[in-house]
Amino acid sequence: MVIEKNDRLILLTNDDGLYAGGLKTLLEVMEQFGKVVLISTVESMSGMSQALTVKTPLRVKLLEETDSRRVYACNGTPTDSVKLAINQLLERMPDWVVSGINHGANASVSVLYSGTMAAALEGCLYGINSVGFSLNNFSPAADFSACGEYIRIVMEMVAREPLPPGVCLNVNIPAASRQDIRGIRVCRQAKGNWKEEFEKRKDPMGKTYYWLTGVFKNHEPEATDTDEWALSNNFVSVVPVTVDMTAHWYIKNLKEKFGE
Amino acid sequence: MVIEKNDRLILLTNDDGLYAGGLKTLLEVMEQFGKVVLISTVESMSGMSQALTVKTPLRVKLLEETDSRRVYACNGTPTDSVKLAINQLLERMPDWVVSGINHGANASVSVLYSGTMAAALEGCLYGINSVGFSLNNFSPAADFSACGEYIRIVMEMVAREPLPPGVCLNVNIPAASRQDIRGIRVCRQAKGNWKEEFEKRKDPMGKTYYWLTGVFKNHEPEATDTDEWALSNNFVSVVPVTVDMTAHWYIKNLKEKFGE
């Protein structure tokens, strides 16, 4: 693949591994927008957040190259993959970083744990227009056929008007048929948390171990301006996500407490 | 250790492993404030962000119990450790989650990658007053003797006035002697990013591998209200950090773009 000056260069990644159906769908849509460098984690890396690999070496393998795409596998996390692609594999900075389509929603506070959104945040830190896409269906066999239309609408908007510095988009698509999806809603992240319910078991040696499970609790089910509400009501949710985690509104108050 | 109704129950964790000097210092200070349940990752988990362990089982071991503390080791991430302690090990919800003292600063966008701050964010998601402490010195042999005084000031403030829901504190302490530290500054997270510089090597089989290294680039070195400025000028930085990653200021603009 030759990347010309006027080509739109798209870095595509995910956190469900190379063989995920969501990645395949997103690749097909992105090839309509430009030349694609896909770098995927080899295995599923769900819940890896913005983790970095610092104790073991990273390896990357070129798997496929055509006129319109290049496909790499990386043994690290989604964030490692984006860093490695930008710093070592790409001829120039990509125009977009696009991540997903995740198998499972990344609404509300799941943005903090999500490897898919971490990859978008990483692109955003490099000043690149970045978007993470997720489908509200955890199944490996999930039906992604309704996604393409909304991915195109979002990316056409990004193509027309770049995102402001430090902001990327978190797009969640309901697990519904095309005719049942009611359109796009720009939202805020719902307040909530995961109530962890560990499964406690005994191994064959009689020793205790735990599996992390968990149920999401929406703390504001009545609010109609949240991503959780949008998804529950069959809207595609679009949340602008910032890399700035400062609670700016609380700084003045905190200064007073410390006598500043 | 018996936890009485009136005891302040403190959940202490870190991401540098059980034998880290920073953890030892924080434990000593916390025992002055209440009864401590310490749960540490066995090994160093730097850069693990808010990663969850979902593919392998979690194990936890009680290592020590005295009248004032209980010490566990966990094979998971810092976030797993907090979840496991709250859900399986503690008799009741802790009053505080305290994390650190990290060997190395977690200022600016390092908050996104930090296992130390992820543990504090996790406590915050459970509605618990949570603070992460870091020293601006990566060395395993770092000198933590100046930290105790500032940790006490911060935690006495939290004891007097609980933090608002969804907000925890990111406290970074300069690597300076007691007399050189100029006090506390409440700050915002500096804009910046890590410029990754991978080290590319060949293994004995001739295959390429990479080590992640990197240099932090402050995008606003002139600004005097950031955590990076505070640290560089020998102030302890205190940043209120929110679990809400929504770029609220951009919602209206984005709605217009989508024709809402």
Tell me the pLDDT of chain B (260 aa) as tens digits: 999 999 999 999 999 999 999 999 999 999 999 999 999 998 888 899 999 998 999 999 999 999 999 999 999 999 999 999 999 999 999 999 999 999 999 999 999 999 999 999 999 999 999 999 999 999 999 999 999 999 999 999 999 999 999 999 999 999 999 999 999 999 999 999 998 889 999 999 999 999 999 899 999 999 999 999 999 999 999 999 999 999 999 999 999 999 98
In a domain, A217, yes or no: no
Residue of A nearest to B83 (CA): A196
Band of residue A69 on the pLDDT scale cut at 50, 70, 90: very high
In a domain, A148, yes or no: yes
B37 close contact with A: CB closer than 8 A? no
Q: What percent of chain A has pLDDT over 70?
A: 100
Peptide bond into B101 cis (omega under 30): yes
CA distance A90 to A93: 7
State whether A49 and B48 contact (CB < 8 Å).
Answer: yes
In a domain, A4, yes or no: no
Q: Which pLDDT belongs to residue B42?
A: 87
A240 close contact with B: CB closer than 8 A? yes
H helix or E strand, kind and range, residue A184? strand A184-186
H helix or E strand, kind and range, residue A155? helix A147-160
State whether A209 and B57 contact (CB < 8 Å).
Answer: yes
ipTM of the shown complex: 0.95
Segment A245-249 mean pLDDT: 98
Give how far A260 is from chain B: nearest CA, Å: 8
Q: Which residues of A touch B77 (CB under 8 A)?
A: 51
State whether A112 and B157 contact (CB < 8 Å).
Answer: no
To the nearest whole number, what is the mean pLDDT of chain A? Answer: 96
What pTM did the predictor assign?
0.96
Find the CB nearest A243 among B109, B166, B185: B109
At A209 the three-state DSSP class reads strand
In a domain, A197, yes or no: no
Q: Which pLDDT belongs to residue A42?
A: 87
- The number of folded domains in chain A is 1
Q: Which residues of A touch B87 (CB under 8 A)?
A: 196-198
Q: Which residues of A touch B239 (CB under 8 A)?
A: 246
Q: Which residues contact B22 (CB under 8 A, 6 or more apart)?
A: B14, B16, B100, B101, B102, B103, B133, B135, B142, B144, B147
Segment A75-101 mean pLDDT: 96
DSSP B183: -
Do A102 and A14 touch, CB atoms closer than 8 A? Answer: yes
Q: Which residues of B touch A58 (CB under 8 A)?
A: 198, 209-212
Q: Which pLDDT belongs to residue B149?
A: 97
Q: Which residues of B touch A258 (CB under 8 A)?
A: 153, 157, 184, 186, 238
Give how far A65 is from chain B: nearest CA, Å: 19
Segment A189-199 mean pLDDT: 92
Do B27 and B69 touch, CB atoms closer than 8 A? Answer: yes
DSSP A164: P
Q: Which pLDDT belongs to residue A247?
A: 98
The token pair at A10 is 């798209």
Do A84 and A52 touch, CB atoms closer than 8 A? Answer: no
Q: Which pLDDT belongs to residue B134?
A: 98
State whether B88 and A157 contact (CB < 8 Å).
Answer: no
pLDDT tens by residue, A195-228: 888 999 999 999 999 999 989 999 999 999 999 9
B190 close contact with A: CB closer than 8 A? no
Q: Which pLDDT belongs to residue B196?
A: 80
In a domain, B128, yes or no: yes
The token pair at A225 is 């301006």
Kindly tell me if the per-residue pLDDT of A161 is higher than 90.
yes
Give how far B192 is from chain A: nearest CA, Å: 8
A55 close contact with B: CB closer than 8 A? yes
CA distance A232 to A245: 27
Which of B150, B161, B186 to probe the A interface (max A CBs under 10 A)?
B186
B242 close contact with A: CB closer than 8 A? yes
Cα–Cα–Cα angle for A102, A105, A107, rounded to 5 degrees: 125
Q: Which pLDDT belongs to residue B195?
A: 87
A60 close contact with B: CB closer than 8 A? yes
Q: What percent of chain B has pLDDT over 70?
A: 100
Give how far B2 is from chain A: nearest CA, Å: 23
Residue A104: phi, psi to the nearest 5? 125, 145
Segment A55-71 mean pLDDT: 95
In a domain, A62, yes or no: yes
Q: Which pLDDT belongs to residue A252?
A: 98
Find the CB nearest B238 among A197, A238, A254: A254
Find the CB nearest A250 among B167, B189, B243: B167
Please report the sign of the dihedral spanned by the C-alpha atoms of residue A92, residue B51, residue A15, residue A186: negative
State whether B113 and A55 contact (CB < 8 Å).
Answer: no
In a domain, B202, yes or no: no
Residue B41's CATH number:
3.40.1210.10
Residue of B nearest to A52 (CA): B47
Q: Treating both helix axes as pointing N-terminal to C-terminal, what angle do B147-160 and B21-30 enclose, rounded to 10 degrees?
A: 40
Q: Which pLDDT belongs to residue B11?
A: 98
Segment A46-67 mean pLDDT: 94
pLDDT tens by residue, B44-56: 888 999 999 989 9
In a domain, A214, yes or no: no
What is the span of the domain harbouring residue A18?
9-189+222-257
Give how far B6 is from chain A: nearest CA, Å: 25
B73 close contact with A: CB closer than 8 A? no
CA distance B35 to A188: 38
